[in-house]
Amino acid sequence: MTSFCEINGQRVREVYDEKLGFSRLYTDADELLVLIAPNFGAGWSTWNGGDDSEKLLEDSRIIRFYHDTYLKTKTREVGPFQEFLESLGIYNVYITTLRPLKDYLKIHQIPKGSRFRVDEYDGSETIVYFQEESWATA
């Protein structure tokens, strides 16, 4: 089932992915929304989650909660986010308090069908696309 909501001023659709077991968000331009920590300090999906790292990166419920609680309001406390994650069965997530959450995490858009991964260095996460990598051939 597909439903719609608004994130960062644009309409997005929520699409359930049976393989992953959760819904993801796509823009009208078919870009996947993901949540990363681009600033130095602490990684988001790379430092947390183990088995839950894909959820932290792509789960529509987490992205919507972050958007609605931290980007649309002046909430600075990490407690509500921790409690929300625990309600999803995701425990012991490290969330930096060095800066407000709205500055720690960012929503990025990935073109649908793109092969990508999240690289992390010193807590700063970056989206790396498959076609940007160079590979050696034996």
Report the distance separating Cα 90 and Cα 53, nearest Å: 10
51: region left, alpha or beta (phi > 0 left; psi from -120 to 50 alpha): alpha
pLDDT in tens, 26-41: 999 999 999 999 988 7
pLDDT in tens, 67-109: 999 988 878 888 899 999 999 999 988 887 777 888 889 999 9
Res. 136: pLDDT tops 80: no
Report the distance separating Cα 138 and Cα 41, nearest Å: 37
Domain residue limits, the chain: 2-132
Report the distance separating Cα 124 and Cα 43, nearest Å: 6
Q: Say if pTM beats, i.e. exceeds, 0.85.
A: yes
At 93, list the tokens. 């997530």
At 16, list the tokens. 């359930």
Reported confidence tier of residue 49, pLDDT bands at 50, 70, 90:
low
